[in-house]
Amino acid sequence: MRSTGYAMLIFALVAMCSAVAIADEVIKVEQTPPVEIHIKHTEPRTVAIMRHKGPYTEIGSVTKELIGQIEKGNHLMAGPVMVRYFNDPKSVPEKDLLWEVMIPVVRPGRLGGTEFDKMVFRYMDVMNVAYLFHVGTFETISDSYAKLFEWVGRSGYEITGPPMEIYWSDPDKTPPERRVVELWVPISEERKPRVVR
């Protein structure tokens, strides 16, 4: 789900982020090193957003523009860069890919804005998500997505929203094999009941 253009991604702020709380349920996926899939409720937050249509190689430039707009408005960034994806690059042409870059903020301006304004503010409510930490290059992130979606499919939860990524490493300062990206898949609060045949 990623192209090498992600190495250009500009990161806003990671040091100010608090540690995430891990839910009780932990499922280990076999690989080397092992990956753990967790479930948690996310924290509510207000985010500055730029929505865009086009190839993923443009995420870096859109992120840089978003940071510039936040700074211009004297808003305070309060978390790492997040990206949400609305369609599947395997079935949608690059030029039609829809995604948005988000950065948590405090002291935002007025909430709202039209869908394709340069920058809008939105309140992001609590979500129940299945998540894992991908450690490694962007070229191998599709393997982590496959494991995450496979687990959700087997677990009985329903997917309730598009996948998201949270960037915990600066690609300009971190070796590719040590980059950390947190993958979220929003899911239902309860599992679907199993059908006994």
Task: Average pLDDT across each block of 10 residues of the chain; the chain has 197 residues. List them in order.
Answer: 40 32 34 71 95 94 92 90 95 96 82 63 95 92 94 95 94 87 96 69
What does the domain layout of the chain look like in residue ranges?
A: 4-186
The span from the CA of 75 to the CA of 101, in Å, is 16
Query: In the prediction, which pLDDT does 27 show?
Result: 35
pLDDT at 184: 98
Distances (CA, A) of 156 to 38, 54, 149, 180: 14, 33, 11, 28
Neighbours of 88 (CB within 10 A): 10
Class of the CATH domain delimited by 4-186: alpha beta
The full DSSP string for 106-165 is ES---SB--TT-S-EEEEE---EEEEEEEES-GGGHHHHHHHHHHHHHHHTPPB-S--EE
Closest among 139, 168, 147 to 34, alpha carbons compared: 147
> What's residue 170's pLDDT?
83
**Whole-prediction pTM:** 0.76
Q: What local confidence, expressed as pLDDT, does residue 146 receive?
A: 95
Count H helices and E strands in the chain, helices first: 2, 10
Q: Residue 189's CB: how many other CB atoms inside 10 A? A: 10
- Closest to 153 (Cα-Cα) out of 135, 130, 127, 183: 130
CA distance 36 to 27: 6
Q: In 3D, which of 123, 138, 132, 143 has the Cα closest to residue 185?
A: 132
Give the three-state DSSP class for 60.
Answer: helix
Q: What is the pLDDT of residue 22?
A: 31
| Cα dihedral value 116, 162, 126, 142, nearest 10 | -120
Measured CA to CA in angstroms, residue 86 lies from 91, 127, 145, 161, 163 at distances of 12, 17, 15, 9, 8
pLDDT at res. 26: 38
